[in-house]
Amino acid sequence: MTETKQIKGCCPLDCQDTCAWVAHVEDDRVVKVEGARDHPFTRGMLCAKVNDYQARTYAPDRLLHPLRRTGPKGSGTFERISWDEAIDTIAERFNGIIQSDGPEALMPLFYLGSMGVVQRHALMRLFNGLGASQLHGELCGASMSSLLMEGHPVGFDPEEMVDSKLIILWGINMLSTCHHHWQLIKEARKRHGTRVICIDPRRSRTAEQCDEHIAIKPGSDAILAAGIAQVMLAEGLADLDYARATAVDFDAYCDQVKSWTPERVAAACEIDVEVVIALAREFAAAKPAVLRAGVAPQQTVRGEAFVRSLSALAALGGHWRHPGGGLFFFEAPAFDEFAAARADLQPHTPRSLDLSAVGPALTYTDPPVKGLMVWCMNPAVIQVDSGRVRRGLARDDLFTVVLEHFMTDTARYADIILPATTQLEHFDVLGAWGHQYLTVNNQAVAPQGEAKSHGEVMRLLAPRLGLAGPAYEESDEEIAAATMPDGLTLDDLKTEGWRKVSPPRPDPAAGDPTLRFASDHLEPVESDALRLLTPKSHYFLNSSFANMPRQRKSQGQPELEMNLADAERLGLADGEEIVMANERGEVHAILAVSDVICAGAVCLIGKWWSEPTETAALANMLTPSSWSVGGQPAYNDTFVVVEAASQAGLREDAA
């Protein structure tokens, strides 16, 4: 009988939950992955995206050998080459660029395709050692991060939420995007009869399960927050001591919110006056309430106003005083993830490029980027204004290396593609962004084909780029060991599987007041056209899995959700093919008419790929080249006109 080995690992994906899993291995093949039942936070459940992760490792379209492009950039025509040829070519081209243009003409580009410290950071050792351009910025919570830099607390141990008495889910679709957090809500409901309110322009899977759904006009969240504050202050419900001990501009904040009466707020947010008043009273009365907020409402040029307004409210209610109370966007275990990248290897402080602005970086940066290496990101699909990103990637004078599992839209633009290992084929260590557990990922099986871990690619390339020393020779485990917190060794973590490493609980009122509560702008960007929202899909993780048959089947076809009132006004019918368009491009989808999305907005779920063309609904061909002051790409400041595809066809014929 074949022996089944069970290997402790974890999900690599960019999700708050970082599930611990057990890979079941027979004859060096993973036969299933199962959630680790004894993990205190994720409790044995994987999600609908990942519960057959081995299918990704063994997918027939997986990239298993290095490839060299033979057709035009973007065409997807490649030939197989050996690792030796691939490394020779990359070294020759990168060394040539360094000689002609200097090391800053090289740009690394990565995000959270894998959250592993080795897969994310090992390759940065090369770019650090060379003095290449650095990378900064974020694609999701950039507004939150910029407020965190100002000192605003944005999270605490989520396990406290079992004792929250009121949970406000503000622009988060928890049941799709981080469903383990819902277990805490269930427990709070059981213990305290906790009410759960969802504020979301869309009746999401999560909104359906809440006690109340407030279908707010998208982008108007900071105004609703001001309205809540106005009622609390006017009715004497605010915790003035706590708020004054927290804010340096408390009086200015009070002045700002004063004019936002429930009537004005109701009109601006397109909700009822009574809803504003009741929400304020309930929020003030709960001891404590938590504002459990998400990413989508940050995705506008006013992202910081949203985060700042919620931070102000959490203090105004005094909710930080109690376990389970405060503001929660993000929480991570206390460890030094960036130690794996070894910034100390930099010979000088180089320029830094914004990872969320790849379009500008590849089209306007001076001096220009000449060599690009992309890993753990699919910029041709997920960056704002991705038409511009593609124009940059198509430049003849740009040499691009992409490390990938699949032939993504971005990989199609590569000169050289390197096959990367999946989470079942390498060792790694992961933090999380929704809890405090650090988790190990032991290698379960040998890599398929010729795939290599990023640590191994780093070790192969370093000597060819003239880099020598221990940092370039360390094994993947040694790279990961650099990130361990005090009191925890990598060996301990390997044995235990995970360890909760809690940072201190924030108390913004401790010490002198430092925080700023008043925002520069509260009002959203407006337009007569329909606002396009593009939240996360249940079965894809951003653009990952959009090529996988099971997930594709479950997700169905690209649909544009529209409110019945808008459909009637525009003379459009449920189920018909439509075109949505703006000055940047057009995208086809099937219209789904209902009351799921509020009037004035439309919603396209799923980050689809260019291939197959029948489902090539590339939302980011329409999103603008705009960012908040804190660097958040304004995915949701996208306005489109929608018409029947048949009409659009007629218009083109006539032109």
Ligand X SMILES: Nc1nc2c(c(=O)[nH]1)N[C@H]1C(S)=C(S)[C@@H](COP(=O)(O)OP(=O)(O)OC[C@H]3O[C@@H](n4cnc5c(=O)[nH]c(N)nc54)[C@H](O)[C@@H]3O)O[C@H]1N2
Quote the longest CA-to-CA distance of the chain: 75
Listed in sequence order, the residues at least 6 apart from 605 whose beta carbon sits closer than 8 Å to its beta carbon are: 534, 535, 536, 537, 555, 558, 559, 561
The token pair that represents 251 in the structure block: 């009086």
Contact region with ligand SF4 (CB under 6 A), list: 13-21, 355-363, 381-389, 525-533:
13-21
Q: Check residue 144 for interaction with ligand X (CB under 6 A).
A: no
CB of residue 144 to ligand SF4, shortest distance in Å: 19
Binding mask 197-236 for ligand X (x = CB under 6 A): --xxxx-x-----------x-xx-x---------------
Beta carbons of 380 and 621 less than 8 angstroms apart: no
CB of residue 207 to ligand X, shortest distance in Å: 7
Euclidean distance between the first and the last CA atom of the chain, given in angstroms as a whole number: 71
Q: Check residue 86 for interaction with ligand X (CB under 6 A).
A: no
Q: Check residue 19 for interaction with ligand SF4 (CB under 6 A).
A: yes
Q: Check residue 622 for interaction with ligand SF4 (CB under 6 A).
A: no
216 binds, among Mo ion, ligand SF4, ligand X, none (CB under 5 to 8 A by kind): ligand X
CB of residue 524 to ligand X, shortest distance in Å: 8
The torsion angle over the Cα atoms of residues 460, 461, 462 and 464, rounded to 10 degrees, is 110
Q: How far is CA 493 from CA 8, 183, 440, 481, 489, in A?
A: 11, 25, 6, 10, 6
Helix (H, G, I), strand (E, B) or coil at 31: strand
* Residue at token pair 């999401």: 204
520 burial (CB, 10 Å; 0-12 / 13-18 / 19+) is exposed
Alpha helix (H) residue ranges in 437-541: 454-464, 476-481, 490-496
Q: Check residue 18 for interaction with ligand SF4 (CB under 6 A).
A: yes
Identified binder of ligand SF4 from the candidate list 39, 49, 452, 538, rule CB under 6 A:
49
Q: Check residue 479 for interaction with ligand SF4 (CB under 6 A).
A: no
Contact region with ligand X (CB under 6 A), list: 180-188, 477-485, 534-542, 585-593:
534-542
CB of residue 140 to Mo ion, shortest distance in Å: 3
Q: Check residue 382 for interaction with Mo ion (CB under 5 A).
A: no
The whole-angstrom separation of Cα 32 and Cα 22 is 8
Q: Check residue 140 for interaction with ligand X (CB under 6 A).
A: yes
The whole-angstrom separation of Cα 116 and Cα 448 is 19
Q: Check residue 355 for interaction with Mo ion (CB under 5 A).
A: no
113 binds, among ligand X, Mo ion, ligand SF4, none (CB under 5 to 8 A by kind): ligand X
Contact region with ligand X (CB under 6 A), list: 73-81, 170-178, 499-507, 553-561:
170-178
The whole-angstrom separation of Cα 426 and Cα 411 is 21
3-state secondary structure string, 79-108? EECCHHHHHHHHHHHHHHHHHHHCHHHEEE
Identified binder of ligand SF4 from the candidate list 23, 25, 30, 50, rule CB under 6 A:
50
Q: Which of the residues 277 through 316 are near ligand X (CB under 6 A)? A: 294-297
Residue closer to ligand SF4 (CB basis): 121 or 536:
536
Contact region with ligand SF4 (CB under 6 A), list: 46-54, 222-230, 473-481, 589-597:
46-54
CB of residue 12 to ligand SF4, shortest distance in Å: 8
Give the strands of the sheet with 437-441, arranged side by side: 428-430, 437-441, 498-500
Residue closer to Mo ion (CB basis): 215 or 532:
532
CB of residue 371 to ligand SF4, shortest distance in Å: 32
288: preceding bond cis by omega (within 30 degrees): yes
The whole-angstrom separation of Cα 621 and Cα 635 is 11
Q: Which of the residues 114 through 153 are near Mo ion (CB under 5 A)? A: 140
CA neighbor of 424 nearest in space, from 408, 402, 405, 401: 405
CA neighbor of 493 nearest in space, from 5, 8, 6, 116: 8
Residue closer to ligand X (CB basis): 250 or 330:
330
Q: Check residue 47 for interaction with ligand SF4 (CB under 6 A).
A: yes
Q: Check residue 535 for interaction with ligand X (CB under 6 A).
A: yes
Q: Which of the residues 404 through 443 are near ligand X (CB under 6 A)? A: 404-406, 408, 420
Beta-ladder partners of 643: 579
CB of residue 532 to ligand X, shortest distance in Å: 8
Identified binder of ligand SF4 from the candidate list 9, 15, 158, 390, rule CB under 6 A:
15
The whole-angstrom separation of Cα 134 and Cα 627 is 19
Q: Check residue 377 for interaction with ligand X (CB under 6 A).
A: yes
17 binds, among ligand SF4, ligand X, Mo ion, none (CB under 5 to 8 A by kind): ligand SF4
Q: Which of the residues 541 through 600 are near ligand SF4 (CB under 6 A)? A: 541
420 binds, among Mo ion, ligand SF4, ligand X, none (CB under 5 to 8 A by kind): ligand X
Q: Which of the residues 525 through 544 are near ligand SF4 (CB under 6 A)? A: 541
Q: Check residue 636 for interaction with ligand X (CB under 6 A).
A: yes
24 burial (CB, 10 Å; 0-12 / 13-18 / 19+) is middle
Q: Check residue 145 for interaction with ligand X (CB under 6 A).
A: no
Beta carbons of 440 and 494 less than 8 angstroms apart: yes
Q: Which residue is nearest to ligand X (CB)?
A: 113
CB of residue 537 to ligand SF4, shortest distance in Å: 12
Identified binder of ligand X from the candidate list 20, 382, 438, 548, rule CB under 6 A:
382
Residue closer to ligand SF4 (CB basis): 185 or 369:
185
Q: What sign results for the dihedral spanned by CA atoms 115, 176, 156, 383?
A: positive
The token pair that represents 367 in the structure block: 């001096």
CB of residue 17 to ligand X, shortest distance in Å: 8
The whole-angstrom separation of Cα 166 and Cα 168 is 7
245 binds, among Mo ion, ligand SF4, ligand X, none (CB under 5 to 8 A by kind): none
CA neighbor of 400 nearest in space, from 122, 129, 109: 109
Residue closer to ligand SF4 (CB basis): 125 or 179:
179
Alpha helix (H) residue ranges in 109-167: 117-121, 124-130, 142-150
Q: How far is CA 632 from CA 222, 309, 388, 639, in A?
A: 16, 16, 17, 18
- Residues making contact with ligand SF4 (CB under 6 A): 11, 13, 15, 17-19, 46-47, 49-50, 541
- Residues making contact with Mo ion (CB under 5 A): 140
- Residues making contact with ligand X (CB under 6 A): 12, 14-15, 49, 111-114, 119, 139-140, 170-173, 176-178, 199-202, 204, 216, 218-219, 221, 294-297, 375-378, 382, 403-406, 408, 420, 533-538, 540-544, 607, 619-620, 623, 635-636
